[in-house]
Amino acid sequence: MTVRSIAPKTIAIVGAAETTKLGVIPDMSQIQLHADAALNAMADAGLKPSDIDGIATAGETPVTLAHYLGITPNWVDGTSVGGCSFMVHVRHATAAIAAGLCKTVLITHGESGRSGIGRTRVVPPPSSLFGQFEVPFGPMGPPTLFTMPVLRYMKTYGVTEEQLAMVAVVQREWAAKNPRATFKDPITVDDVLNSRMIAYPFRLLMCCLVTDGGGALILTSADRAKDFPTKPVYILGTGESVETPMVSQMADFTSSRAFRVSGSNAFKSAGITHADVDHLMIYDAFAHLPVFGLEDLGFLPAGEAATFIAGRNTATGREAAAQHQWRRLELHAFRHVRHVCAPGERPARCAASPRPRCRGAKISVCHGAGGMFAASGTVIMSNEGQTLSHQAGEGLRYSPVKLGGRLPRKAPIASL
Amino acid sequence: MAEPRRGATGADAGNAALLGGHAPGRAAAAALRRLRQDLFPAAPVLPRMRLAACLDRQGERSKGRLFSYVIHHRPVPGFTPPYAIAVVELDEGPRLMTNITNCPQTPEALQLDMKLEVAFETLDDEITLPLFQPVKG
pLDDT means over runs of 10, chain B (137 residues): 50 48 45 42 42 54 91 94 95 86 98 93 74 89
pTM to 2 decimal places: 0.84
d(CA B75, CA A347): 42
Residues of B in Cβ contact (< 8 Å) with A135: 6-8, 10
Shortest CA gap A158–chain B (Å): 13
CB of A67 within 8 Å of any CB in chain B?
no
Residues of A in Cβ contact (< 8 Å) with B50: none
CB within 8 Å: B85 and A202? no
**Residue pair A382/A348 in contact by the 8 Å Cβ criterion:** yes
The C-alpha angle with vertex A329 and arms to A323 and A334, in degrees rounded to 5, equals 100
d(CA A145, CA A373): 9
Q: For chains A and B, count residue pairs whose Cβ atoms are closer than 8 Å.
A: 114
For B6, the closest chain A residue by CA position comes to A136
Q: Which residues of chain A have pLDDT under 70?
A: 1-3, 317-360, 386-416
Give per-residue pLDDT as tens, A182-231: 888 999 999 999 999 999 999 999 998 888 988 899 999 999 998 998 88
Q: What sign does the CA torsion over A98, A100, A102, A104 have?
A: positive
CB within 8 Å: B127 and A136? yes
pLDDT of residue A320: 46
CB within 8 Å: A136 and B7? yes
Comparing CA positions, the residue from A217, A178, A213 lying closest to residue A20 is A213
pLDDT of residue A224: 95
CB within 8 Å: B95 and A249? yes
CB of A125 within 8 Å of any CB in chain B?
yes
d(CA A366, CA A346): 12
CB within 8 Å: B49 and A249? yes
Write the ipTM.
Answer: 0.86
pLDDT of residue B8: 52
CB within 8 Å: B74 and A198? yes
- Residue B122's CB is within 10 A of a number of other CB atoms, namely 12
**Interacting residues of B84 by C-beta distance below 8 A, sequence separation 6+:** B69, B70, B71, B72, B99, B100, B105, B110
Name the residue facing A202 among B8, B10, B70 (closest C-beta). Answer: B70
